[in-house]
Amino acid sequence: MNDETTNKDFISLYASKQSQSEWDVQRKRSFGERRQNRKKSHTGRLTDYTFNEIVVKSTLKENEDINWSALSKSANLKNANNKAPRNAGQVMKEIAEHVLKHPVKRKPKTRISWLNYKNLSLNIKRKASVTRLKIKKKRMIDNGEIDVGKTIVPIEYQTVQVQSDGTLVG
């Protein structure tokens, strides 16, 4: 009787652990999918920042092209430590977009990522290699397109070697 209860307990425990591990796998997958869809934030909580809201709103009404760094300085943007954040322009842009509900124009993407280089086809003229230039020059000389004149120095030459005793052998 004792062996049966321990066996049943073991089976029930094993079954519950198996379903627990399946649940863990499913939870981790859904967490990973949620992380991929979430936009990365470089600003932290926007409610921790203090700034002069009147200056920001008046600047946002007047200008279409906004220098966010200059705006953050004029609005006296400070973080929770009462210091200007290093990414003040980025923070001010996020505040304008999310807190003040001001539509922010996105600049068109000018940088091409490394992954898009594979699919990108540009007609870029590349420099000719030295060997191709030599072949082209030789062909132009043979065709008479380039006049090199008459040969002054004889093409045939004789090699001479100096031996250890100082005599020339040739």
Give the model's confidence band at 75: pLDDT under 50 very low, under 70 low, under 90 confident, else very high: very high
Query: Does residue 94 lie within any of the structural domains?
Result: yes
Helix (H) or strand (E) holding 20: helix 2-37
What are all long-range contacts of 68-72, with beta carbons under 8 Å and residues at least 24 apart?
A: 68/92, 68/93, 68/96
Is residue 20 included in any domain, yes or no? no
Classify residue 149: in a domain, yes or no: no
- Could you tell me the sign of the dihedral formed by the alpha carbons of 34, 35, 37, 43, in that order? positive
66 within some domain: yes
Q: Which domain covers residue 72, as residue numbers?
A: 46-99
**Domains in the chain, number:** 1
Whether residue 12 lies inside any domain: the answer is no
Handedness of CA 116, 121, 122, 125 (dihedral sign): positive
- Within-domain flag for 67: yes
pLDDT, tens only, 139-148:
998 888 888 8
79 lies in some domain: yes
- Give 14's pLDDT tier (boundaries 50, 70, 90): low
pLDDT tens digits for range 40-61: 777 888 888 999 888 888 888 8
Mind listing the pLDDT tens digit for each residue in 98-131?
Answer: 888 877 777 666 666 665 666 666 666 667 788 8
Model pTM greater than 0.75?
Answer: no
Measure the CA–CA gap between 63 and 17, rounded to whole angstroms: 61
Residue among 99, 74, 102 nearest 89 (CA)? 74
* Cα–Cα distances in angstroms (integers) from residue 5 to residues 1, 13, 17, 20, in the given order: 6, 12, 18, 22
7 domain residue, yes or no: no
